[in-house]
Amino acid sequence: MTSPLADLRHKLQRIERGHDRWALRWQVLLATVDLAILAFFLLGPYLRTRPTYLIIDYGVALWIMAEMAARALAAPSLRVWISRALTWIDLVVLATLLFPDLLYNFAFLRVMRLWAVGDSPLLRQGLRRLGYGHLQDVAKAVLHFLVFLFVVTGFVYTSFFYDREGSEGFVDALYFTVATVTTTGFGDITLPGTLGKLTSVATMIIGISLFVRLAQAVVRPLKVQFPCPRCGLQRHDLDAVHCKACGEILNIPNDDG
């Protein structure tokens, strides 16, 4: 008979990596909460002067602390949990939420959670049930590119335009990010100082790389993810019967079954 703590740990692991309907529903809920936190970040300029801002701010901080504790319990060990990049991102976000008057609001970093969705059962099973399982690589590339755009836009907005009223600051940050990633370089909006120059350089280098990867995912022949039982080759043609590497007979399931 398992202990209540072991049972709780099993359920948390199932939520994190499960493929069944119950686990996928929890994964959708967690992704929705992350989007709500991003909405709170975007609405910050409108809420900062209201008393409800700190209430929501500390409420989000409590949620993040509870989520971090749950992920730590579900992890194989404390060392594995600490070594995860998303754990450190959550720590940064938590610090900015607990001390909003001293630190900038870096809640936009929670969008990195959506980056992990690209490798999670949620995206794979969701596309498969909709009949678009063969577009997983394209969807993953689009998701990674959009996450990068939002992270850079959020950083630029927080570091350079956060003091502007309303949505003007975020729109300027988004405009600068898109112009920089596409190497259009209008020059009407630039980032001051050394930090601004380094931000522009990093945005161009990483942004172009992700854009090229997105283009490759769109134009290359569609493949299906299915490991060959003999040689382990992961990608095959949609109608493949034999593995091109070793000739093993494949039994690739259809998206609708």
Q: Averaged in consecutive runs of 10 residues, what is the pLDDT profile of the chain (257 residues)?
A: 78 82 85 84 75 85 90 88 86 83 71 73 72 74 84 86 77 88 79 88 86 75 72 74 77 61
Residue numbers of the domain that contains 231? 223-257
User: Measuring CA to CA, which residue among 143, 123, 121, 141 is closest to residue 132?
Assistant: 123
Alpha helices in 18-157 (DSSP H): 21-42, 44-47, 52-74, 78-83, 85-98, 112-117, 121-130, 136-156
Same domain? 250 vs 176: no
Residues 95 and 45 in one domain: yes
For residue 225, the cross-strand partners are 235
203 shares a domain with 250: no
pLDDT, residue 96, reads 81
pLDDT, position 90: 85
| Token couple for 91 | 């720590």
**179 and 229 both lie in a single domain:** no
Would you give the distance in Å from CA 231 to the centre of its chain?
31
Q: Are residues 107 and 192 in the same domain?
A: no
pTM exceeds 0.85 for this model: no
Give a yes or no: residue 122 inside a domain: no
Residues 192 and 242 in one domain: no
pLDDT at residue 135 in the model: 72
User: How many structural domains is the chain composed of?
Assistant: 3
CATH number at residue 169: 1.10.287.70
Q: Is residue 119 part of a domain?
A: no
Give the pLDDT confidence score for residue 138 in this predicted structure. Answer: 79
CA–CA gap between residue 51 and residue 204 (Å, rounded): 39
- CA 153 to each of CA 17, 173, 210, 256: distance values in angstroms, whole numbers, following the listed order: 30, 5, 15, 38
Residue 213 lies in a domain: yes
In a domain, 125, yes or no: no
Residue-level pLDDT at 62: 92
Q: Is 120 contained in some domain? A: no
Question: Cα separations (Å) of 121 from 52, 116, 136?
Answer: 36, 10, 11
Same domain, 6 and 60: yes
What pLDDT score was predicted for residue 168? 81
Q: Are residues 201 and 227 in the same domain?
A: no
Q: Give residue 222's pLDDT.
A: 66
Q: Which pLDDT score, from 0 to 100, does residue 257 have?
A: 45
Is residue 118 one of the residues assigned to a domain?
Answer: no
